[in-house]
Structure 1
Amino acid sequence: MKAIHILLEDNSQWPGYSFGADISTSGELVFNTGMVGYPESLTDPSYRGQILMCTYPLIGNYGVPNQEISKWGFSRNFESTQIQASGFIVSHYCEQWSHWKGEKSLGDWLKEENIPGVTGVDTRSLTRHLRAAGTMLAKIIVNETPEWYQPQDHHLVAQVSCTEPHIYGSGSKTVALIDCGAKNNIIHQLLQRDCTVHVVPWDFPVHQHDFDGIFVSNGPGDPRHCAQTIQHLSICLQRNKPIFGICMGHQLLGMAAGASVFKLKYGHRSQNQPVIEVGSNRALITSQNHGYALDHHTLPEGWSCWYENLNDKTCAGIIHRSQRFCGVQFHPEASPGPTDSSHLFSRFRELVEQCS
């Protein structure tokens, strides 16, 4: 393996070895503490513009699965059609992989997708560095030194969203899924609940159409770039059609109501984030992947914090006390992660049914 290094914006350097594409890259360095799920994470559009580091020490030991296309035409094993992360950093890359669904090695997949991978990195030390100093920009330097890439300066949602509407399924209720970088499994969850899903671009005027419900997806980058989405949702809030948001969708819903967001020091990216339903003792273990959070103190009258993150007490969900509007910061579709909160899709479907 070729010796390379990682350069952080504070000028600290971390040595490693290349096991992916032999190219340099830059982006925002973030860490995920999940033990499994690297195929889903790497293809999650929320990682666009970021270099992903896994804290679990052994990565690649089950290889990369095949597409396994569902009857609706989506892969069951990947969350989009390509790797979205700009680079991948691990402690130990397992060259010898084994899994009955495996099709190729992680290294071969990264090379096919032209994504650099770095192994032999002291990820424990690097993660502690990021926890202390906060998320920062990084470069993976293989040959030439790339320019710094600041994701906050780019409209990443516009890069990953569809460019025209697509219709999936033939369910009894029509749901508009605002695609800010929607994961495949979100679409699957809605289709499995007797919905006809209209996947529409991030800036689509949903308020001009008569859908039975509106679902706002996850997505990458700073939600404040999505001014048109926020404007359209604010008009939809004047009606009583059900609206549900996931991750960035939750933030956009809150901003449409009048709340504000802030950037977390190092984000929440793992499959074991505990949240509690405010006002009850019901706790859930959730999958999360976000660098921004909604400031629930800025929510207007009529709105409440629905779920709270038990690690840092940030808002993990909002709900309107009298209307059919709600959102969660976590991922009830999981993929990867626990399915403790998958019932929230059924809750949204029930709200759509009640409104009809």
Structure 2
Amino acid sequence: MNLSLAGAPHLPPISTVGGVMRQVLYALVPGIVAHVVYFGVGILFQIALAVTFALALEAAMLTLRDRPLKPFLSDYSAVVTAVLFALCVPPLAPWWIALTGMLFAIVIAKHLYGGLGSNLFNPAMVGFAAVIIAFPIELSQWLAPRSLTPGLPGIGETAIAIFTGQLPPSVGWDAISQATPLDALRTGVAENRLVTEIRAAPIFGDFGGLGWEWIANFYALGGLYLVWRRVISWHVPVAVIGTTLLVSTPMWLLGPDIHPSPLQHVFSGALVLAAFFIATDPVSGCSTMRGRLVFGAGVAILTLAIRRFGGYPDGVAFAVLLMNMAAPMIDRLTRPRTYGHDSDRDGS
């Protein structure tokens, strides 16, 4: 008997770690390009530094743990960690910021917990939390958008600033750096100024920070690509952004003079980046569908609380790390019903 089969392959291809990580890197490209357009080439230096340090530390730890180098160095997991970290630091941050961040991200948060797939915390956010606590001044030197400066540093000036900490006499720090929109809001509210008065500053755009709102839009575009490719599910991004809008809207309606608008929260800082690329980490996040919704909502609520009452303008990194600690319990409490059982518990 001759059987004719069509439509092969009959099973979907198995996703590899390297394939998934490459898709994440592709999705980050639009946001990185927008970052370069508005804030100069410094972000490319930070990415190159972080990736170099991450791969070197990854190789060193794999050697110490007697693990093969090629499979783990070629899976792009360290590269993704490095890029996400670099996107969270100022473009002209000194080179040792990237080194310190990668020490905490790769060595402590990843390999001391057992390596890829065993880490409790998101490595990129561990690295960022470490440097922002240890070096708050260096992490506060953000550049003003291109349209608000006499000229952003070029490639040579950027390299000098990153590797020596100095700028040419013709380019002063005061001329090219200023507070971020979130920092300006937090400081202004603390000084009893009205939000409408604060937002009159040129660093604010239509919804969020000037330039930052477009960067957030392009991160969202890349995130939607990942949802479309089924690299991530929609649950965490929808929960993060939806909860942000849901919680901040009543506060804004009740006190628009002291509370930023919901769109200000979404289109400023790293909220959109976290919603699509950081909180969706399958290792340190939740695995159940309901759990992902709870996880994303928790990230949003904690971020808003830290922005309003904490000591840092943007609390995304700390919000993600706090929810990483809660993820195992959330998964346990949101287990789907076992097939053939009426209860959510399987009796074990």
Q: TM-score range by the shorter chain?
A: under 0.3
Q: TM-score, normalised by structure 1?
A: 0.26
The structure where helix makes up a greater share of residues is 2
The structure where strand makes up a greater share of residues is 1
Structure with max Cα Rg: 2
Q: TM-score, normalised by structure 2?
A: 0.26
